[in-house]
Amino acid sequence: MLLILGTSEILLNFYETDEKQCPRCNQTGVTFRVVQTYFHVFGLPICPLQKYTGISCDQCNYTNDNVANEMSILLERESRVPLYFYSGVIIFSVIVIAVALILIL
């Protein structure tokens, strides 16, 4: 069922590294993933909301969706939000400008 409006998530970027240890099993080899949440109407992205970094370990199946360290800050900075996440704002702006031009002319 398609929700009329709400929030959703999309994977922006992921990074597998052998340089970091799993916080649970201390094995090296974890995967960081950067996730963007966004507000949508009829599935059309209106505006991006929150970006967060999660970590997962393949050895012990550990996952954490709330990683806050220097690695997560760097990854979130490198993972840019695609322009289409602003589709609703862009469409609304074009409509407002078009109406304003029609009223002026």
Residue 4: DSSP 8-state: S
* Closest approach of Zn ion to the CB of residue 16, in Å: 13
* Closest approach of Zn ion to the CB of residue 65, in Å: 15
Q: Where are the alpha helices (DSSP H) in 1-105?
A: 70-78, 87-104
Does 21 bind Zn ion (CB under 5 A)? Our answer is no
User: What are φ and ψ of residue 94, in 5° steps?
Assistant: -65, -40
In the complex with Zn ion, which residue's Cβ is closer, 25 or 94?
25
Does 12 bind Zn ion (CB under 5 A)? Our answer is no
Tokens in use for 57? Answer: 């370990």
Residues of span 26-55 touching Zn ion by CB under 5 A: none
Choose which of 62, 71, 81, 87 interacts with Zn ion (CB under 5 A): 62
Amino acid letter, 15: Y
